[in-house]
Amino acid sequence: MYKRMLVGRDCHGSMPLSSLKPWLQAAPAPQPISASTSEYPSLESTVQCSLGCLGNFSMCVWMIDTFGNEEQRHRFCPPLCTMEKFASYCLTEPGSGSDAASLLTSAKRQGDHYILNGSKAFISGGGESDIYVVMCRTGGPGPKGISCVVVEKGTPGLSFGKKEKKVGWNSQPTRAVIFEDCAVPVASRIGDEGQGFLIAMKGLNGGRISVASCSLGAAHASVILTRDHLNVRKQFGEPLARNQYLQFKLADMATRLVASRLMIRSAAVALQEGREDAVALCSMAKLFATEECFAICSQALQMHGGYGYLKDYAVQQYVRDSRVHQILEVQREAWGNLIPCRDKGNSCHSHPQLP
């Protein structure tokens, strides 16, 4: 039922976030993270690409819960955790993507309010979410001048751009979020002034696990669909599953899938345990899994032949949806800053433990 819902919503280009609540509440509760757990195959099949906005949503809840004060946590977290309300993460701007520290959205303090001016781009859930966790500049240039504030929908001066027309993720609304003399109480600031960039980056560690897991869900589904298609589709008088070349291709896809899964789990364990190498491992897992899983989805479409190119078949949606995962949470060309190699003893991040 869920896959039919996704394909149908993708064709119509919309999925009201409220429609996800009953399905997600009925989903099995995730088990504690373990690199060897057998529970994840069933869980990852529910983490499909078009729910990527929910990774963004959970990241917002985590940031408020981790860095917010008691009043903020009790005010914002309960309705978010019950999904009565949804949240969007607002970092990217038209002129600052991977170079997030150069953001320009300003927050000038006037009494007990900040006056926000600027805009955010490509915001998942923009216009639909109830709460916007916004990174804005309260100080000078660079990362230390950035703070984090919560802006609620309906605040005067907050508006939204048109719904973006995307190649994939069509069941998830994406819009610009615009601030024009938008007054936000200082009490809505999360953490201290100047702490926003740190909050944003720590949130992105979990966000990279989420995006990688979305790719994993799409690849897992694509492998299953391809296996079933090869068993049913006949050419030259026998099922395609008997073709040795296609058998080898499917085995290669399954191997890359398992490798991606193990890398994501390893990073998730490191993040959960608060290890020093968590940043590097989360970045590596996102880089590796999003590329490998997109390749799996693309190969699955190829092995479906002409049918794979039809919108009646879900595999084409997995290809379109998973492509953006290589761009989200810092695109691959900027990963060198997050996965550094030691150079004369200098390094910005702790390195994973290598054999």
Residues that are catalytic: 329
**Pairing relation of β-strands 189-190 and 146-152?**
antiparallel
Q: Round to whole Å and give the CA distance between 281 and 261.
A: 13
CA-nearest of 169, 174, 170, 10 to 89 is 174
CA-nearest of 44, 153, 35 to 90 is 153
Phi-psi region of 344 (alpha: psi -120 to 50; beta: other; left: phi over 0): left
Q: Round to whole Å and give the CA distance between 147 and 193.
A: 5
Q: Round to whole Å and give the CA distance between 186 and 63.
A: 17
Count Cα neighbours of 152 within 13 Å in the Cβ-side half-sphere: 12
**Pairing relation of β-strands 234-235 and 146-152?**
unpaired
Q: Round to whole Å and give the CA distance between 87 and 153.
A: 10
Q: SS3 for 173? A: coil
Q: Round to whole Å and give the CA distance between 148 and 167.
A: 31
Give the largest CA-CA distance in the chain.
Answer: 79
Find the angle CA(183)-CA(145)-CA(68) to the nearest 5 degrees: 65
Q: SS3 for 191? A: coil
**Pairing relation of β-strands 131-137 and 87-90?**
parallel
